[in-house]
Amino acid sequence: MAGEFVERPLSWLVRRVRERAGRGRYLLGIAGPPGAGKSTLSAALRDAINSEASGMIAEIAPMDGFHLGNDLLRATESIARKGEPDTFDVDGYVSGLRRLRTTPVGEPVPWPTFDRSIDAPVPGGIVFDRQSIVLTEGNYLLLDDFGTRRWSEVRALLDECWYLDAAREVIEDRLLARHIRGGCTPTAARDKVRASDLRNADLVATTRQRADLVLRGNAGSYSVAVAPPGFSAG
Ligand SMILES: Nc1ncnc2c1ncn2[C@@H]1O[C@H](COP(=O)(O)OP(=O)(O)OP(=O)(O)O)[C@@H](O)[C@H]1O
Ligand SMILES: [Mg+2]
C-alpha cells in the first residue's frame, strides 16, 4: 500500500519536481484513469513551475498525441474501441520520450498533440526546445505490455511517475458531461462511458500501486500519498 494521504498545496508538488530536476531533461509522468484531471493538473503544474522560474522551463508532452489515426482504426475495425491501450502508437510514444531524454536541451524535438475538436492528433503540435522539465500525461504510462504494444518501456524513460486518482462516480459524471458537450445524446454518452471509459479506468487502476506518488484532487489542493522506497518496482 502507498503511505498515508496528506493534504498538499500545488506549491509542494512544484517544489518536488524542481528539487529532482537536475542538469539535462527531467521527465515526470502523470498517469491515471480517464477524466481524473491529468491534463488539468499538468497544465497547473507547468504554469506554476514556469511562473516560479520566470521562464518557460516546463512543457507538457501528452500521451494522447499518439492516438492512432481514425482511418487506420476504421480499417482495423477498432474505431469503436478508440482509447484502449492498443489504439495508440506506443512505439512512437516511447521513441518520442527517448528522443526527449537524449536530445540536448536547446535542440528542437517536435511532439504531437491531440485536438478533441477534430478528434485527431496534430503532428508537431508542440516543439520542445529549451524546456528542461517534461510533464508527460496519459492513461497507460504504468501499464504492462498489452498484446504487441510495449507500454512497459515507458516507465524506464521517466524519472518519476505519479498516479492521479479520482472516485469512480466523479469520473463517470465528468466523462458523461464531456461526451454530451461533444454532441452525444445522454443515452449515447452513458453507453460510451460504461462500455469504454470505465473499462479503461478499471485497467488503469491496476497500475496505481506502481506509482511513486498517488494524488487525489481537492478544490485547490491535492491529497498525496508517497510510496515507500522500493515500492514502485512492483
Ligand atoms: N481538481 C479538480 N477539481 C474539479 N474539477 C476538476 C479537477 N481536475 C479536473 N477537473 C475537471 O474534470 C474534467 C476532466 O479533467 P481533465 O480533462 O484534466 O482530465 P484527464 O484526466 O486529462 O482526462 P482524459 O484522460 O480523458 O484526457 C474537466 O472538466 C476538468 O475541468
Ligand atoms: Mg486529458
**Domain containing residue 117: CATH number:** 3.40.50.300
Asked, for residue 130, whether it belongs to a domain, the answer is: yes
> What H or E segment, with its residue span, contains residue 59?
strand 58-60
Rounded CA-CA distance 108/131 in Å is 10
Give the Å distance between the CA of 38 and the centre of ligand 2. 6
Please answer whether residues 179 and 189 qualify as being in contact, where contact means their C-beta atoms are separated by less than 8 angstroms: yes
Asked, for residue 229, whether it belongs to a domain, the answer is: no
Please answer whether residues 48 and 54 qualify as being in contact, where contact means their C-beta atoms are separated by less than 8 angstroms: no
Ligand 1: residues whose CB is within 6 Å? 32, 34-40, 139, 174, 217
Query: By alpha-carbon position, which residue is closest to atom 18 of ligand 1?
Result: 37
Asked, for residue 234, whether it belongs to a domain, the answer is: no
Per the structure, the complete domain to which residue 89 belongs is given by: 6-224
Asked, for residue 216, whether it belongs to a domain, the answer is: yes
Give the Å distance between the CA of 104 and the centre of ligand 1. 32
Asked, for residue 178, whether it belongs to a domain, the answer is: yes
Split into its structural domains, the chain has a count of 1
What string of pLDDT tens digits covers the 234 residues of the chain? 568 999 999 999 999 999 999 889 999 999 999 999 999 999 999 999 999 999 999 999 999 999 999 999 999 999 989 999 999 999 999 999 999 999 999 999 999 999 999 999 999 999 999 999 999 999 999 999 988 889 999 999 999 999 999 999 999 999 999 999 989 999 999 999 999 999 999 999 999 999 999 999 988 789 999 976 655 443
Rounded CA-CA distance 148/9 in Å is 40
Asked, for residue 230, whether it belongs to a domain, the answer is: no
pLDDT tens digits, 51-84: 999 999 999 999 999 999 999 999 999 998 999 9
Asked, for residue 233, whether it belongs to a domain, the answer is: no
Please answer whether residues 58 and 49 qualify as being in contact, where contact means their C-beta atoms are separated by less than 8 angstroms: yes
Asked, for residue 232, whether it belongs to a domain, the answer is: no
Please answer whether residues 166 and 32 qualify as being in contact, where contact means their C-beta atoms are separated by less than 8 angstroms: yes
Query: By alpha-carbon position, which residue is closest to atom 12 of ligand 1?
Result: 37
Rounded CA-CA distance 226/175 in Å is 28
